[in-house]
Structure formats: structure tokens, C-alpha cells
Amino acid sequence: MSDVAPIAILYQDELLAVVDKPAGLMVHNSGLARGEDQFLADYLRDQLGKPIFLIHRLDRGTSGCLLVAFDRDTASALGQVFMSREVEKDYLAVCRGWPEEQFTIDHDLDGGPGKPVKKPAITGFVRLATGELDIPSGGFETSRYALMRCRPHTGRFRQIRRHLKHAFHHLIGDTSHGEGRHNRTFRMRGVHRMLLHARRLSFLHPATGVRIEALAPLDREFAKALDLFGWDHELR
């Protein structure tokens, strides 16, 4: 497990940590692993020398803030914090088109493969910036894109990705729910990752009640995507 750089720690105390998950690394072994043998949970366990209890998940292609606990009691308490919806999770996403400035998608989602039951799923979106590339698209002379702040109020399987597809503003780099033509446009410009980043995580510490806030910086490839349009790296 030496071919992955040390995982950046955004916040840590004796009970828990917020880490910066790299894009392309699976969080843990699951039915979606498909033969993968490298997992963030294993790297963290070796790096920190502690047991690791995952409080939530991020898709393989997503980067940014991930919360872990170091013991079962803290994990259980953090699970209750998440259930109370006192947690704020803000993501940055680059999507096709120019969505309206602010909107909410309330669209039930199933639980993924083998889990057909649909449950309520709500995501709030704010448009932070818009831009165009000089590539014809849909009868227009240019292709339009937007940088979005996404705040999921529920935690369904691939919720942001599927809600953006539902709104016809597909996430760039998403090979499952996106649009291949737009994904290829970004790959031709050196951007090969899914453009979804868990920028900010804010929650109440289960032991102290103090609000903890962690911010994950953009990685080089996500920053490269923003540079295509001259967008500010500090938007959140």
C-alpha cells in the first residue's frame, strides 16, 4: 500500500477525523469494487494506526471531505448526528448547461443495484459561475457549462449525480449518469476525472457539541477544469 500518497487530514482529534479523499480511490470494499484491492479505509488504518469506522461514503470518482470515527461509540454518536440532519455537506460540481441560479430537486431515488425501493431524495443547488467553450453543441455555436454548489438534504445512492441528470444538467466526467460527448470535451482538455468534490463538511461534535467545519482544497485536475473558464478556485 505504498503507491498512494498519504491521505490529507483536514481535522483530527482523539475521537474522529475528517480526511480529504482523493478522486479515483474507493472508500471501502463492497459489491461495487469490481476487483479493486486499494481502499481508503485500509490506507487510513495503516497511516493513523487506529481502527477506522466510516460515517458516510463518497463515490470512487468524488473527492473531498470524508468523516471517520476511531471507535464504535463515537461512530454510533456521529450516526445519530447525521440522522438529525444537523450536518451540512456542500459539494462543488461542474455540469452541462446553465441552470437557474437557485433551485431544489425533490425526486425519489432507489438504493442502487438490487435495491429497487425508492425513498425521498432532496438536493439544493446554487449556481456559482457560468462559462462557455468554443465547441458547437445542440445547434448552438458554443457549449455551456456551470459550476454548482450542491447540498444534499438526504443521502441516497449517487444522489447529486442522478438529480443533475434528472434536471438535464448532467455532471461532467460521470460515465454512468453523464453525457459522453461532454465528457470527451473535457478529456480532450486534460480533465479526466468526475467533477464532483465534497468541498465542505460541517457538523456538531458528538462529545463537545462544538460545530466542526472542514474544507477540502481542489485537486490539480479539478482546478484545471475551473481554469478552462477562469473560475475562482475559492468559490464555495
In tens, the pLDDT along 3-54 reads 678 999 999 999 999 999 999 999 987 655 566 678 999 999 999 999 999 9
Annotation says 59 is catalytic? yes
Q: How far is CA 63 from CA 7, 77, 104, 116, 158, in A?
A: 12, 25, 23, 27, 14
Entry pTM: 0.93
Q: What pLDDT does residue 112 have?
A: 85
Distance CA 18, CA 11 (A): 5
pLDDT band at residue 1 under the 50/70/90 scheme: very low
Q: How far is CA 61 from CA 22, 129, 158, 175, 221, in A?
A: 8, 22, 11, 10, 12
Domain 8-227 CATH superfamily: Pseudouridine synthase (3.30.2350.10)
> What are the backbone dihedrals phi and psi of residue 18, each rounded to the nearest 5 degrees, phi first?
-110, 125
What are the grid coordinates assigned to 39, written together?
481502499
In tens, the pLDDT along 114-141 reads 889 999 999 999 999 999 999 887 778 8
In tens, the pLDDT along 187-222 reads 999 999 999 999 999 999 999 999 999 999 999 999
Q: Integer distance in angstroms from the first to the last C-alpha of the chain?
A: 33
Distance CA 204, CA 222 (A): 29
Catalytic residue among 59, 90, 110, 232: 59
